[in-house]
Amino acid sequence: MLYYLFEYLDKTMNIPGAGVFQYITFRSALAILLSLTLSTIYGKRIIGFLRNQQVGETVRELGLAGQNEKAGTPTMGGLIIIFATLIPVLLLTKLNNIYIILLIVTTLWMGTIGFIDDYIKIFKKDKQGLKGIFKVIGQVGLGLIVGTVLYTHPGVTIRKEAPKSIMLNQTENVISQVPLEEKSTATTIPFVKNNELDYAELLSWMGDGYENWAWIVFIPIVIFIITAVSNGANLTDGIDGLAAGTSAVSVLALGIFTFVSGNIIFSSYLNIMYIPNSGEMTVFIASFVGALIGFLWYNSYPASVFMGDTGSLTIGGIIAVLAIAVRKELMIPLLCGIFLVENFSVVLQVSYFKWTKKKYGEGRRIFLMSPLHHHYQKKGYHESKIVTRFWIVGILLAILSIVTLKLR
């Protein structure tokens, strides 16, 4: 909203300084400051409201040190993240940008699913919360919407090549050499020199016109990624500060990808795919990072509030959509390695337990407990040490992901 106000002041009334809102970097800086302020100042009030409403966490008996002390701690703190993200986004972004629209829909959609799950756990006294099938239906529904919009919307295009000469000469002749924007289901493969993969090519065996059927591959992949990443974030939210901190690191790295991919100069210099209008997502990311860091003010050990599924499902959904929109979804196993390992530890534990029970008559375990962070708790590590080390690993993975821009 403020973007359009200052655009009017700049172009119609020629007020000096109003044009600064045209710069993504300025609006991103403003967004992170505003979201950080909102989450830290008003976060305390939201926590107080949740406490007054007796929206407290019911902790399962897991045999972990300090577990009983957390019973009654306010949950649904993901509301802080959602509000602190959306308010700056509504004020500072171009609201007609299709990527921003999708991210707002994702935030509200996944936030609603998580809220319903938390509500059932707390007020209906059902520890299982929303049944898994309904969660999956919600995640698949969002994936279907996101995949369909990205595949069909005319504003979602790419330019595979941008001549480096455009950096030196902005004459009409040079600009005419820039390839036209095109619809494409191409994505980026990390660590590969010719690092583009078009999902449509997986159907080349169908013969002429196979490109028209690319949605058969693209949309299911989008659904799978959104479901997997949102569940991964949900499993990571098990100890104070873990999910919020690791997510902030991953999202910050995605912010770098969106900025360079949405800038024709940088994308040309780095020889990467140029995605018109995607740079606007940088403002959303800045707001989201500020909200996550502000939430950490209250969620760091010992936590004054838990994010609940309201926050964790929202975080996972946003990260997935950001990665897909900027054509970096194949980098998720590296960028979100913490989520992957946490998810995989649960799959391994359950699968191995069932297999050994069938074979030997008794279930055996690989880890002392899953997800993985609980394994280290069982081994006697303090929560703060586990979280800090997971953050460090997350930072290393984020740096390695950023390096893929040139390391091929």
Percent helix, percent strand, percent coil in the chain, to nearest 5: 70, 5, 30
Element (H, E) at 26: helix 24-52
pLDDT of residue 37: 95
Return d(Cα 104, Cα 111) in angstroms, integer.
10
pLDDT of residue 164: 45
pLDDT of residue 161: 57
pLDDT of residue 307: 92
Question: Residue type at 73?
Answer: T
The residues pairing with 158 across neighbouring beta strands, listed in sequence order, are: 182
69 Cα distance to chain centroid: 30
The residues pairing with 188 across neighbouring beta strands, listed in sequence order, are: 196
Q: Is 315 exposed, middle or buried (0-12, 13-18, 19+ CB in 10 A)?
A: buried
Per-residue pLDDT tens for 7-20?
Answer: 777 777 778 777 88
The residues pairing with 187 across neighbouring beta strands, listed in sequence order, are: 197
- Provide the whole-model pTM: 0.91
Whether a cis peptide bond, with omega within 30° of 0, leads into 179 is no
Structure-block tokens of residue 281: 């997502």
Cβ 94 vs Cβ 284: under 8 Å: no
Residues of the chain with pLDDT under 50: 61, 162-178
Return d(Cα 370, Cα 315) in angstroms, integer.
21
Cβ 397 vs Cβ 340: under 8 Å: no
Per-residue pLDDT tens for 43-85?
Answer: 999 998 888 877 766 655 455 655 666 767 888 999 999 999 9
